Amino acid sequence: MTIRPASQDDVPAILPMVAKLAALHENWDPQRYDYKTDAAKMYDGWLRARAVDDRSVFLVAEREGKIVAFLIATIEGTIPIYRLQQIGFIHDLWVEPEYRNEGVGRQIAMLAVEKFREKGVKQIRLETATANDAARALFKSCGFRISSIEMLCDI
């Protein structure tokens, strides 16, 4: 398994994984994950921009020339009341089902942590769906901890 920075040329292979991730999220909580109809097109442009953005960590895992996982993260600003002015934020991590439980997710997450460290980022955050126990276990094994619980009220 090779884990490397993603390029713009990788985006077409990643988009089907994005669609699976979106479908899974929508299945878990359709009110929280209410995607626009053109989300794939929007993601295409966003991922291509992240591939050449120094404030992004965009990684792929590849086996025998096939992309089997990706992680996309960015450096984000915080509000001025906090000492930390910027954080790393992991937006998405996906491992194709047939490659799960092989350590790919942990490897790609730990490389993202290292990449953020190299960029001078002192804290990394992420969100997981309530139903995603596997993701929380994975990120806990990488040194993450639960720090808040997001709540939602549809009005």
- Which CATH number goes with the domain that contains 86? 3.40.630.30
pLDDT at 81: 95
Q: How far apart are alpha carbons 120 and 123 in whole angstroms? A: 9
Q: How far apart are alpha carbons 71 and 109 in whole angstroms? A: 7
Q: How far apart are alpha carbons 44 and 67 in whole angstroms? A: 16
Mean pLDDT of 6-27: 95
In a domain, 148, yes or no: no
In a domain, 149, yes or no: no
In a domain, 89, yes or no: yes
In a domain, 82, yes or no: yes
Owning domain of residue 60: 2-140
In a domain, 153, yes or no: no
On the question of pLDDT at 36 being above 90, the answer is no
Q: Give the count of domains, the chain.
A: 1
Mean pLDDT of 104-126: 98
Indicate the helix (H) or strand (E) that contains 25. Answer: helix 11-28
Provide the H-helix boundaries in 53-122: 104-118
